[in-house]
Amino acid sequence: MLAFSRVAIIGMGLIGSSLARAIRAQLPTVRLTVTDADPAVRSRVLDLDLADDVADNAATAVIDADLVILAVPLGAFAAVGVTIAADLAPGAVVSDVGSAKAAVTEALASLMPPGVHLIPAHPVAGTEKSGPDAGFASLFHNRWCILTPPEGTDPTALARLTDFWTRLGARVEIMDAKHHDLVLAVTSHLPHLIAYSIVGTASDLEGVTQSEVIKYSAGGFRDFTRIAASDPTMWRDVFLTNKDAVLEILQRFTEDLTALQRAIRWGDADTLHHRFAASRAIRKAIIDAGQDADTVNFGRDIAPPR
């Protein structure tokens, strides 16, 4: 028996449209209603046939849904919460896919009607692409989905949401919201901040033209530009809502970077080699854990153009 029979997704970007595709593939009997604030996106979702119904607004979308998932930028959560609160069905579970979790509870908890269960969630999956055409059904397969239930969360509601994500192929972990935000500041948010900074620095350097930066991009810089191509609105909101954790990790990173700078200046080969070897071991552990593939050149096609 399925945990949810009627699901509503608000926001049809990469994650929202991937969710819709995954539900269609793995939970075909679920009645799926979706919406997006952009009329052009709603029209494209209709063209792609990603849902049973495409509502004109969020309030209409959530009527009778027993699971509501917010897949909008974190900065829009409070406004969406106000919009949908009166139309949420008793007993419904309200969740999300945002990359910061403490902010979700802060934005939505006070808006939820009695009997509605708020359980923030974060599927740790994605690409630098955005929009409804970018989604794909297997995005969550063998990826972690972290649930951060507030204190006092109904166990049955939590079990239902766990079952939902498991059926989509994800591995579910329960975590405290503040701890989640600190962990993701290390593994996701800081790398994106560094990528945005490095790409910006390269484009602003005097004595190096932008055409040279593009023409002679080595693999490392290309990978940074891929990360830096991520949705700017989404990442703006991530850094503003998770600023305490990001600033804490950024301070530690700054100290470590200064230590490496000192080692280079003074020719401290041992320190450099030790740090690089330790980092290489982390890469191997990620591959061994199945979170990436040990593919030559990261699977990039390096064949010369014909």
| Cβ neighbours, 10 Å, residue 226 | 16
Mean pLDDT computed over every residue of the chain: 88
Structure confidence by residue, pLDDT tens digits, 16-59: 999 999 999 999 999 999 999 999 999 999 999 999 999 999 99
Considering the domain architecture, whether residues 166 and 217 belong to the same structural domain is answered as no
How far from 190 is each of 183, 184, 238, 245, 249, CA to CA, in Å?
A: 10, 8, 11, 10, 7
Is there a domain that residue 1 lies in? no
pLDDT number for residue 305: 41
Asked if residue 273 and residue 245 are part of one domain, the reply reads: yes
State the Cα–Cα distance between residues 54 and 230, nearest whole angstrom. Answer: 26
Q: What is the b/e burial string over 294-305, where b = at least 16 CB atoms within 10 angstroms of the residue's CB? A: eeeeeeeeeeee
For residue 92, the model assigns a pLDDT of 97
- Answer with the one of 126, 154, 175 that is the final residue of a domain: 175
Of the chain, the percentage scoring pLDDT greater than 70 comes to 90
pTM of the model: 0.83
- pLDDT exceeds 70 at position 293: no
Q: What is the pLDDT of residues 193-240, one digit of tens each?
A: 888 888 887 777 756 666 676 676 666 777 777 788 888 888 888 899
- The residue with tokens 């989509």 is 168
The answer to whether 7 and 65 have CB atoms below 8 angstroms apart is yes
Q: DSSP readout, 174-204?
A: E--HHHHHHHHIIIIIHHHHHHHHHHHHHHH
Domain check: are 31 and 168 in the same one? Answer: yes
- Let me know whether 135 and 228 are in one domain: no
- The tokens for 287 are 């591959």
Residue 297 domain-assigned? Answer: no
Residue 8: pLDDT over 70: yes
- What distance separates the 2 farthest-apart alpha carbons in the chain? 66
Q: Write the DSSP assignment of 49-97 as a string of letters.
A: T-SSEE-SSHHHHTTT-SEEEE-S-GGGHHHHHHHHGGGPPTT-EEEE-
Distance CA 48, CA 135 (A): 11
Burial of 121 (0-12, 13-18, 19+ CB in 10 A): buried
Show which of 129, 150, 175 is a domain's final residue.
Answer: 175
Which CATH number do you get for residue 204?
1.10.3660.10
Contact 70, 80 (CB under 8 A): yes
Nearest Cα neighbor of 58 from 36, 91, 32, 31 is: 36
Q: Note whether 25 and 47 are same-domain residues.
A: yes
219 and 77 within one domain: no
Q: Which range marks the domain in which residue 92 is found? A: 6-175
Is 306 a residue whose pLDDT tops 50? no
Q: Does 298 reside within a domain? A: no
27 and 155 co-located in one domain: yes
Q: Is the pLDDT of residue 98 over 60?
A: yes
Of residues 74, 4, 14, 81, the one with CA closest to residue 41 = 14
- Based on the number of CB atoms within 10 Å of its own CB, is 41 exposed (0-12), middle (13-18) or buried (19 or more)? buried
Q: Do 170 and 190 fall within a single domain?
A: no
CA 158 from centre of chain: 20
From edge to edge, which strands make up the β-sheet containing 171-174?
A: 121-123, 144-147, 171-174
How far apart, in whole angstroms, are the C-alpha atoms of residue 226 and residue 192?
A: 10
Same domain flag for 185 and 38: no
Cβ distance 293 to 287 under 8 Å?
Answer: yes
CATH label of the domain that carries residue 33: 3.40.50.720
| 72 and 152 co-located in one domain | yes
Whether 300 is covered by a domain: the verdict is no
Residues 97 and 157 in one domain: yes
Of the two residues 168 and 226, the one the predictor is more confident about is 168
Percentage of the chain modeled with pLDDT above 90? 63
- 189 pLDDT band, cuts 50/70/90, is confident
Name which of 10-14, 264-268, 276-280 the model is least confident about: 276-280
Q: How many domains does the chain have?
A: 2
**Residue 10 within any structural domain of the chain:** yes
Residue 306 lies in a domain: no
Residues 20 and 70 in one domain: yes
20 lies in a domain?
A: yes
Is residue 304 one of the residues assigned to a domain? no
**Residue 147's closest CA among 169, 167, 105, 176?**
176
Tell me which of 126, 156, 175 is where a domain ends: 175
